Amino acid sequence: MDQITLNTRHLHAFTEVGFQVAGGSGAHGAMTALRKIIPVEAYEFVAFDPATGCHRSLVSSGYTRVDVDAAEEYARLDPYRRAMASRVPLPMGSPGTELYYRRHLEPYGWRSGLTAPLFVTEGRYTGLLHVNSRDALPPETTTVISAVSSALAHVTDLTRCVIDPLGLPPGFHAVAFERGGRRRAVAGWPASEAVDTEPSMAELARDFIDSRELSRRGLWLDSSGQWREVRVHRAGVGFHGAIQGAVIAERPCSLPYDLTAREIEVLTRVALGDSNPQIAAALVLSVRTVTTHLEHIFAKLGCDSRTRLTTKVLAEGLCRLDLP
């Protein structure tokens, strides 16, 4: 790859690109910054959706039209595969791309350009960036685009999930769900293997999305016998959070207040409004045993009534979270 001498303009532009992407201005803000050092007249961001394995045009500017099938057509070219392997931008008209450019670009006056594969820092592929000009682009274009490609890759990252970062304390692992059950990563949070491998979590997410709840908390006993604190939040998933979804986050925990697993079950029935006989019938216990459990629970949680107990249980997520 060609070497360039960085000057103050380059450094400022690189910083501005990262700021615009991180700050939420996205494609247009980033490309406005980049255009200060490269005379790009048109650009298109193409996103790769790992959930479907397909490409689609996401954001474009400067083109008279963008053909609907262009993204998938480009991704089927052999030069695209070579660019993916080398991670080096392909100049317009490279061997094997002639027909593509003749169909989609040359009729509209574009004579110079390149396509850059986009990978986030950890090496995950998110899509493509096409840039074009009616005049020759400067020789350093490839090097400059390569230098900022990892920042630009976040523009096409469809796994990003919109979620209030204050919604989850540190230590949680998370997975996002669309209503149809498709899973997506949550940007900024490590993935939860426990949630991802539990088939019933998709149904839990769908039930939550269809409810009027803004959030849900509870305790989950996973298949290995580990208790986990679980939080469910509403979230938009995909590009700009355009798809209604939910985030399910968890972290391993011990049962709080020295509660036992049976006391958690009793607490859960109390929060549902069950009477002692109803709890006894649901848990196959005697009414006297339920009463004894409740005496212990009142003492451990420092509550003197079922109303206060229920309020505390719901506020702190002390109910057992039963999966569908």
Q: What percent of the chain stands above pLDDT 70?
A: 92
Mean pLDDT of 21-38: 79
Average pLDDT, the chain: 87
pLDDT confidence bin for 239, thresholds 50/70/90: low
* 302 has pLDDT over 50: yes
Q: Match 């963008």 to its residue by tokens.
A: 66
Q: What percent of the chain stands above pLDDT 90?
A: 46
The residue type at 79:
P
Contact (CB, 8 A) for 58 and 46:
yes
Contact (CB, 8 A) for 259 and 267:
yes
Give pTM, 2 decimals. 0.63
pLDDT confidence bin for 166, thresholds 50/70/90: low
Nearest to 128 by CA among 66, 45, 51, 53: 45
pLDDT tens across 195-218, in order?
A: 999 999 999 999 999 998 888 999
Nearest to 293 by CA among 311, 279, 273, 308: 279
Least confident of 11-20, 48-57, 90-99: 11-20
What confidence score (pLDDT) does residue 23 get? 60
pLDDT tens across 97-139, in order?
A: 889 888 888 888 888 999 999 999 888 899 999 999 999 998 8
Who's near 178: CB < 8 A, 6+ residues apart? Answer: 184, 237, 238, 243, 244, 245
| Region of residue 220 (left: phi > 0; alpha: psi -120 to 50; beta: else) | beta
pLDDT tens across 270-296, in order?
A: 999 999 999 999 999 999 999 999 999
* 11 has pLDDT over 70: yes
What confidence score (pLDDT) does residue 1 get? 47
Best-predicted range by mean pLDDT (25-29, 106-110, 152-156, 302-306): 302-306
pLDDT tens across 51-66, in order?
A: 778 888 888 899 888 8
